[in-house]
Structure 1
Amino acid sequence: MAVAETPISVTDHPGVEHEHEEAPARRGRWRRSLGVAVPGGMVALIVAACFLGPVLFDLPSPVGGNILESYLPAFSPGHLLGTDPNGNDILSRLLYGGRASLFIALAVNVLGLVVGGTLGALSGYLGGVVDTVIMRVLDVLIAFPSLVLTLAVAQALGPSMRNTIFALAFFSIPAFARVARSAVLRLREMPFMAAAQLCGTPAWRVLFKHLAPNTAPQLITFGMLGMGIVIIIEGALSFLGLGIPDPAPSWGNMVATGQLSLSATPMLVVWPSLALLVTVLSFNLLGENLRARWSGR
């Protein structure tokens, strides 16, 4: 007697079904990796151009140009992007200005992360009176319009790179503190935190061994977003003459200088504005994609 053969569907095979389930997950991981790699590569390229470009391409000094060579057009001999009203090489000023902006943004975010992150972690972990005092003081700073107060502080201290860093870092500390406190409050309810407390682990060891590594992703992500914000504010301060003073190059004061002859030479404004746009966009995309990648784990 013939035995009826039951057709086997491809979807009935457990291995094939498992592969179908893993395919979307692999595509999602690939997209997240690409989302981090592309803006990360742009940031690395910008940093390398600003810090290594002037040396590798033997660019002239960004200051002390020859006034007889002012307003040279792009692709002039020895001046790829031309010169400004003072005869300074635009490409050189663009890269040295980017170096200053990146250094200020990094310094501001490192100060905010270290000081604000420490205050926020202490506030969230210790709680009680310590939490109340720290957060009320920081709330007072957050309540004021940060940009207005930054302008006031910069005006009071005077235009310089050091004063710009202090003025911006002063207002980045509360933001980092709130991010750190929020992350610590979530971690404090985790089982490993209860186990560490039951074992009598000292508070400083809990902060550095357990809390710091677990709050680092949130703080780093916030720092990447903060890099773009600081670069914009520093550009605004330099544009108003309260950041990096002339003749030192900065994207902000390059825009301020270029607007004086905007109708005749618009590229004097376009180049630093484009550099600001690409840099801030790269840091924002990197921060957003890092946040999405780490939150998906």
Structure 2
Amino acid sequence: MAVIDASSAQLETALAATTRPRGRWRVWVRTWVPAGMVVFILAICFLGPVVLPIAKPTGGDVLESGLSPFSSGHLLGTDSNGNDILSRLLYGGRASLEVGITVNLIGLVIGGGIGAISAYVGGIVDTLIMRGLDVLIAFPSLVLTLAVAQSLGPSKRNTIFALAFFSIPAVARIARSSTLRLREMPFMQAAQLCGSPWWRILLRHITPNIGPQLISFAALGMGIVIVTEGALSFLGLGIPPPAPSWGNMIFDGQQSMSATPMEVVWPSVALLITVLSFNQLGESLRARWSGR
């Protein structure tokens, strides 16, 4: 019997030794690789134009239009208007990221606050708020976003408003469902019995506990917002030219794709890598915080 127990213990030790590095490697790949990519994308888009010796994104020389990559003074070449593609790629990424970050911050603050307050108060207030949000969610968000952007006109501010307006209901529902699970827990009841005001309970007890779910959802939402902003800019309803955006860069490049195909390739690749990085980061954070 002792021999069997010893063999079992040795087997468990061997299995733990073989699975632990693999588990660490999996966590490293799932979390730190996309996180590193996100940090690199943010750094290159926001700091790159400041520290790199690149030209301005607009006002290029038409005589230098259509230059191939690795041309003198133009690492990625120039577009059909003579503008430096690398410069427009970085400035366009900055614009797309600014839209995504601002939209998600608005959704987290307003939507998270509405959902948490609705679930905590409950009753008729919760019913009225949720039914109003259900009406917004019932409509196709992309169609309504196009309609709102068309009515407001193309600009970065209007694009942020149109996208934020439809990100609030989704965040509010997640915040509400998380708050409903917390509301009946012993520490919440203890805080209420101690006479803590509702705003203090929301800030000190509810917000830290629903924060991880909202942050992981925001990371996933970044990819959706960036793609939607690119679609609006491609259709001429987002960031208007000559200001660069990955969406309007793709639109401008497809008109002269036979002459300057890289004008479409570079923003498309940047958009793909950025969205995949944020999506993978959001999935890894959600799995990590849910204990999977």
Range that drifts further, 138-147 or 216-225: 138-147
- One-letter identity of the residue aligned with 2:264: V
Is the counterpart of residue 245 in structure 1 residue 230 in structure 2? no
In the TM superposition, 1:47-58 aligns within 5 A as 47-58=42-53
For the pair 1:186 / 2:176, whether they are aligned, the reply is no
Kept in 1: contact 2:57–2:91 (CA 8 A)? yes
Match of 1:159 in 2: 154
For structure 1, the residue ranges without an aligned partner over 5 or more in a row are: 1-5
Q: Is 1:132 aligned with 2:127?
A: yes
Of the three residues 196, 201, 204, the one matched with 1:206 is 201
Conservation of the 8 A alpha-carbon contact between 1:187 and 1:211:
yes
Asked if 1:268 is matched to 2:255, the reply is no
Which residue does 1:107 correspond to in 2? 102
Alignment length (residue pairs): 291
Name the residue aligned to 2:138: 143
What is the match of residue 3 of structure 1?
none
Between 1:125-134 and 1:197-206, the stretch displaced more is 197-206
Q: Distance in 1 between matches of 2:236 and 2:158?
A: 13
Task: Establish whether residue 224 from structure 1 lines up as the match of residue 210 from structure 2.
Answer: no
Say which is worse superposed, 193-202 or 169-178, in terms of deviation. 193-202
Contact (CA 8 Å) 1:32, 1:292: kept in 2 or not?
Answer: no
Q: CA deviation at 1:33?
A: 3.9
Of the three residues 270, 275, 281, the one matched with 1:286 is 281
8 Å CA contact 2:58, 2:242 repeated in 1: yes
Q: Does 1:71 align with 2:66?
A: yes
> Which of 1 and 2 has greater Rg?
1
Give, in angstroms, the shift of residue 63 of structure 1: 0.3
* Partner AA of 1:243 in structure 2: G
Distance 1:75 1:177 in 2: 48
Q: RMSD of aligned C-alpha atoms? A: 1.8
Kindly indicate whether the alpha-carbon contact (under 8 Å) linking 2:66 and 2:259 is maintained by their aligned counterparts in 1: no
| Letter matched to residue 61 of structure 1 | K
Q: Return closer, same or farther for 1:109/1:229 CA change in 2, 3 Å cut-off.
A: same
Q: How has the CA–CA distance of structure 1 residues 21 and 194 changed in structure 2, closer, same or farther, with 3 Å as cutoff?
A: farther
Q: Is the 8 A contact 1:238 1:250 kept in 2?
A: yes
Once the two structures are TM-superposed, the CA of residue 262 in structure 1 deviates from its matched residue by 1.7
1:190 partner amino acid:
M
Find 2:82's aligned residue among 87, 90, 101. Answer: 87
Distance 2:102 2:171 in 1: 14
Q: Retained in 1: the 8 A contact 2:79–2:260?
A: no
TM-score, normalising length from structure 1?
0.93
Moved over 4 A (4+): 6-10, 20-23
What percent of counterpart residues are identical?
68
Structure 2 unaligned runs (5+)?
A: none
The separation in 2 between residues aligned to 1:205 and 1:28, in whole angstroms, is 39
Q: Which moved more, 1:22-31 or 1:69-78?
A: 22-31
| Distance in 2 between residues matched to 1:118 and 1:217, nearest whole Å | 15
TM-score by length of 2: 0.94
